[in-house]
Amino acid sequence: MLSNESRVWRVVGIWSAVVTLVIACSVAADASFSSTVLLLVLCAAPPGVALLLGFSAPPPTVAELLYAVHTENDRQ
């Protein structure tokens, strides 16, 4: 369990470092503010999607789908 948590924190740390590096390079290249914000939004989109998917309900299993079809056919 501890190794799993440290792996997650390592990924978060690396991702944060990459985002910081991208923003720093954008500022160093004297990019406009809108370009820097666009880069920040593009870097933040994948974790946002992962969080949305992570908190959603899990998809039904094959057994649950087959049971639902089986019980509907029995009722008719």
How far is C-alpha 4 from the chain's CA centre?
A: 17
Number of domains the chain is built from: 1
Whether residue 22 contacts residue 43, with contact meaning beta carbons closer than 8 Å, is answered with yes
List the domain range (segments joined by +) for residue 46. 2-75
Whether residue 53 contacts residue 32, with contact meaning beta carbons closer than 8 Å, is answered with no
**pLDDT > 60? residue 1:** no
Convert the pLDDT of each residue in 6-46 to its tens digit.
877 888 888 899 999 999 999 999 999 999 899 889 888 98
Q: What is the DSSP string of 46-62?
A: HHHHHHHHHTSPPPPPH
Q: What is this structure's pTM?
A: 0.59
